[in-house]
Amino acid sequence: MKKLTLLLTLLTSTLSLADRIAIIGAMDSEIKILLSQMKNIEQEEKASVVFYKGKLENKDVVVFKSGIGKVNAAMSTTIAMEEYDVNKIIFTGVAGAINNNLNITDVVVSDYLVQHDYDTTVFGTKKGAVPGSVDAKFSADKNLINIAKNSAEKVLGKDKVYVGTIATGDQFIADKKTVQALESEFGAWAVEMEGAAVAHVANLYKTPVVVIRSMSDKADGSAHMNYNDFVNIAADNSAKIVINMLSQM
Ligand code: ADE
pLDDT tier at 13, thresholds 50, 70, 90: very low
What pLDDT is attached to residue 1? 52
What is the set of domains in the chain, with CATH numbers? 20-248 (3.40.50.1580)
Is 74 close to ligand 1, i.e. is its CB under 6 Å away? no
Is 73 close to ligand 1, i.e. is its CB under 6 Å away? no
Q: Which residues, in sequence order, are CB contacts of 205 under 8 Å at separation 6+?
A: 81
Strand partners, 232: none
- What mean pLDDT, rounded, does the chain reach? 93
pLDDT tier at 41, thresholds 50, 70, 90: very high
Residue 70: which of 171, 139, 170 has the closest Cα? Answer: 170
Percent of the chain with pLDDT over 70: 92
Summarize pLDDT for 144-167 with one digit per residue, the tens. Answer: 999 999 999 999 999 999 999 999
* Active-site residue flag, 30: yes
Mutate to test the pocket of ligand 1, among 192, 198, 228 (most ligand atoms within 8 A of CB): 192
**What is the DSSP annotation of 115-170?**
ETT---GGGTPPTTPPTT-S-SEEEPPHHHHHHHHHHHHHHH-GGGEEEEEEEE-S
Residue 129 has pLDDT above 80, yes or no: yes
Residue 98: which of 185, 195, 180, 210 has the closest Cα? Answer: 180
Mean pLDDT of all residues in 198-215 = 98
Is 179 close to ligand 1, i.e. is its CB under 6 Å away? no
pLDDT tier at 16, thresholds 50, 70, 90: very low
Residue 4 has pLDDT above 70, yes or no: no
Mutate to test the pocket of ligand 1, among 170, 171, 172 (most ligand atoms within 8 A of CB): 172
Q: What are phi and psi of 165, to 5 degrees?
A: -75, 135
Is 217 close to ligand 1, i.e. is its CB under 6 Å away? yes
* Active-site residue flag, 217: yes
147/183 Cα distance (integer angstroms):
26
What pLDDT is attached to residue 5? 52
